[in-house]
Amino acid sequence: MSRIAMPVVVAANDLFDGDPVWMTPGGNWSRSLADAEVIGDLAGAEARLAAAMAQADRVVGVYMAEVRPGPFGPVPVDFRERVRARGPAPFALPAQAAE
Amino acid sequence: MYAYSEFDEDFVRARVRQFRDQVERRIDGRLTEDEFRPLRLMNGLYLQLHAYMLRVAIPYGTLNALQMRQLAMIAERWDRGYGHFTTRQNIQFNWPRLRLVRRGDETGFEVSVGGGLGRTPMLGQVIRDFLPEADLLPYLEAILGVYNRLDRRDNKYKARIKIAVHEIGLETLRDEVEVRFAETRAEFGGADRVLLAGIAGHFAPPAPPDGPETIPPGSPAFHAWCDTNLAAHRRADHAIVTVSLKTPGQAPGDASAWQMRLLADLAERYGHDKIRISHRQNVVLPHMRKADLPTVFAALADAGLAATNAGHLSDIIACPGLDYCALASARSIPVAQQVAQHFEALKIEHEVGPLRLNISGCINACAHHHVAEIGILGLERAGSRLTRSRRVAIRPRMPP
């Protein structure tokens, strides 16, 4: 894996729901990237990552994702992370029974 | 139709009990994620980009109405009211939750080896020009035996017969297979033939025709659908119906629980209770009486399932891509959506004629982009993490 550049957020999936979640400044987990703690130094990021990994009873697939500041909170640098934060494209769902 | 034996049922039930216990132990902390991951993957539970994904095998791609209704029930009760039929002739549910998962002259063969798509597409090579039918299982076992010894289990990307053939060469493989075949052939002692006869008994040949052999008159839309979505059946009074899950604008392969139940009803009422899931992400009703086709078409049309595009440009195979898949490099579904809508607006699809357009979101090639006339592959361009590029390959038209 290529070296990660700061700042970063700590990302994971909720163990029970599978939902994408991000670590907040209080060490909790939010389903909104806007709530995530933005970490500017590698040592701090590694410490937060270790703390996240210790929460295996709540989350799965913990990792660091690069971000840059945006008007409404952190914006992922990587395209995959943007898709992950936004959800799937808004395609039409198959027909349901008429109400 | 595959008949599930008592053994199959006991096996599946035991597997469910075992997995339920494994999920409980993961949730209460007795299993770590590292311990749990291989167990959940063996049971078809993946962690994707936005959620867990549960993949359900459909052996031979064959379902009856009861089984299709059960898939609809799962979609509605444990997912978001729809499921996604994949190129593996199975179904995946893209939004399950872990807490719920726990509850929830002489006949013979020309034999080719080493073919496959995926990240290393290769054409199969003929290892035996002619193999008597009775030797099929012993010979295939001999191939597997040799492969098991040569296999590159050190590298999951290379643990494939095609890699073994490529690395040691067809001639060497053939020599080794023939030696092993000579050694092991007698061990079968005819037991394989007895088993085969038992399986063949479940696939009864069709009865002779006893109904009208022509399609009843109907609307132009009905006849266009018949021209496009039907294939010839062995019985002249029957037809094979492809129900396209490719309504332009929708994700290829998605079907709602309501649509699944309707398909179950149609199969039960008009189609000898038989359904198949095709690798093109469509549902096939393999035994429909021609006399019933107008009724079936009307029911499909009411349910948004009468897309008249089987084998045509908008019958696109598309993998879930970056909208769901954790492995993907690029999106597939929005590309499929836009292409289908574009050509639907132009109304030239039927003028173009049969054409395959397959879209894979990464080199793993789930959408079989190598074997379409137009194959689109999503790539991550090195050094530019914000843009994703796609490689488009156009090939001469192939026989269908």
pLDDT at residue number A11: 97
Residue B386 pLDDT > 70? no
Q: Any bridge partners for residue A92, and if so which?
A: B250
What ipTM did this prediction achieve?
A: 0.72
The stretch B254-261 carries a mean pLDDT of 96
Q: How far is B122 from chain A (nearest CA, A)?
A: 29
How many whole angstroms separate alpha carbon B371 and alpha carbon A67? 39
pLDDT tens per residue, range A37-77: 999 999 999 999 999 999 999 999 999 999 999 888 899 99
**Boundaries of domain holding A37:** 8-85
Number of separate domains in chain A:
1
Specify burial of residue B192 (Cβ count, 10 A radius: 0-12, 13-18, 19+).
middle
Total Cβ atoms within 10 A of residue B372: 21
Give the one of A60, A83, A94 whose C-beta lies nearest to B254's C-beta.
A94
Q: Any bridge partners for residue B375, and if so which?
A: B358, B393
How many whole angstroms separate alpha carbon B16 and alpha carbon B114? 34
pLDDT at residue number B149: 87
Name residue, tokens 């198959």. Answer: A94
How many whole angstroms separate alpha carbon B400 and alpha carbon B347? 22
State the average pLDDT for chain A: 90
Give the N- to C-terminal CA distance of chain A in Å, as an integer.
Answer: 50
A 6-45 residues inside an 8 A Cβ radius of B: 13, 15-20
Q: Write out the H or E segment, with its range, that includes residue B83.
A: strand B82-85
The stretch A20-49 carries a mean pLDDT of 95
How many whole angstroms separate alpha carbon B296 and alpha carbon B315? 20
The length of chain A in residues reads: 99
The pLDDT-based confidence of B396 (bands split at 50, 70, 90) is low
How many whole angstroms separate alpha carbon B177 and alpha carbon B186? 15
- Residue B157 DSSP class: T
Q: How far is B12 from chain A (nearest CA, A)?
A: 24
CATH architecture of B220-302: 2-Layer Sandwich (3.30)
How many whole angstroms separate alpha carbon B290 and alpha carbon A58? 56
Triad B109, B113, B117: Cα angle to 5°: 120
Residue B389 pLDDT > 70? no
pLDDT at residue number B294: 98
- Whether residue A89 and residue B331 make contact (CB cut-off 8 A), yes or no, is yes
pLDDT at residue number B251: 94
Residues of A in contact with B390 (CB under 8 A): none
Q: Work out the percent of chain B whose per-residue pLDDT is above 70.
A: 94
- Whether residue A60 and residue B254 make contact (CB cut-off 8 A), yes or no, is no
pLDDT tens per residue, range B193-232: 998 888 888 777 778 889 999 999 999 999 999 999 999 9
* Residue B317 in tokens: 């195979």
Q: Residue A39 domain-assigned? A: yes
- Whether residue B388 and residue A19 make contact (CB cut-off 8 A), yes or no, is no
The pLDDT-based confidence of A89 (bands split at 50, 70, 90) is confident
Total Cβ atoms within 10 A of residue B236: 14
Among the ranges given (A4-8, A84-88, B137-141), the one the predictor scored with the smallest mean pLDDT: A84-88
Residue A1 pLDDT > 50? no
The pLDDT-based confidence of B28 (bands split at 50, 70, 90) is confident
| Residue B223 one-letter amino acid | H
Q: Residue A48 domain-assigned? A: yes
The pLDDT-based confidence of B384 (bands split at 50, 70, 90) is very low
Q: Which CATH class is domain B6-101?
A: alpha beta
pLDDT at residue number B97: 79
Residues of A in contact with B283 (CB under 8 A): none
In chain A, helix, strand, coil percent, each to 5?
A: 25, 30, 45
Q: Is the peptide bond before A7 cis (omega within 30 degrees of 0)?
A: yes
pLDDT at residue number B392: 76
pLDDT at residue number B158: 84
The stretch A14-35 carries a mean pLDDT of 94
Question: For residues B83 and B52, is the Cβ–Cβ distance under 8 A?
Answer: no
pLDDT tens per residue, range B96-150: 877 655 544 677 888 999 999 998 899 999 999 899 988 999 999 999 999 988 8
Q: Any bridge partners for residue B288, and if so which?
A: B239
Residue closest to B121 by CA, chosen among B169, B174, B160, B167: B160
Specify burial of residue B255 (Cβ count, 10 A radius: 0-12, 13-18, 19+).
buried
pTM of the model: 0.80
Question: For residues B332 and B378, is the Cβ–Cβ distance under 8 A?
Answer: yes
- Whether residue B337 and residue A89 make contact (CB cut-off 8 A), yes or no, is yes
Residue B391 pLDDT > 80? no
pLDDT at residue number B400: 44
The pLDDT-based confidence of B90 (bands split at 50, 70, 90) is very high
Q: Residue A93 domain-assigned? A: no
Q: How far is B163 from chain A (nearest CA, A)?
A: 26
Total Cβ atoms within 10 A of residue A38: 16
The stretch B379-395 carries a mean pLDDT of 64
The chain B residues in contact with chain A (CB within 8 A) are: 26-27, 29, 32-33, 47-52, 81-82, 95-99, 245, 247, 249-251, 254-256, 258-259, 303-305, 322-324, 331, 333-334, 337, 385-388
The stretch B52-77 carries a mean pLDDT of 92
* CATH 3.30.413.10 matches B317-394: yes
Helices and strands (H, E) in chain B, number of each type: 13, 16
* Residues whose CB falls within 8 Å of the CB of residue B12, separated by 6 or more in sequence, listed in order: none
Residues of A in contact with B337 (CB under 8 A): 89, 91
Q: Work out the percent of chain B whose per-residue pLDDT is above 90.
A: 68
**Domain B6-101 matches domain B108-200 at the CATH topology level:** no
pLDDT at residue number A2: 52
The pLDDT-based confidence of A91 (bands split at 50, 70, 90) is confident
Residue B353 pLDDT > 70? yes
pLDDT at residue number B101: 54
In chain B, where are the structural domains located?
6-101, 108-200, 220-302, 317-394
Residue B175 pLDDT > 90? yes
A84 CB within 8 Å of a chain B CB? yes
Give the one of B95, B250, B323 whose C-beta lies nearest to A94's C-beta.
B250
CATH architecture of B108-200: 2-Layer Sandwich (3.30)
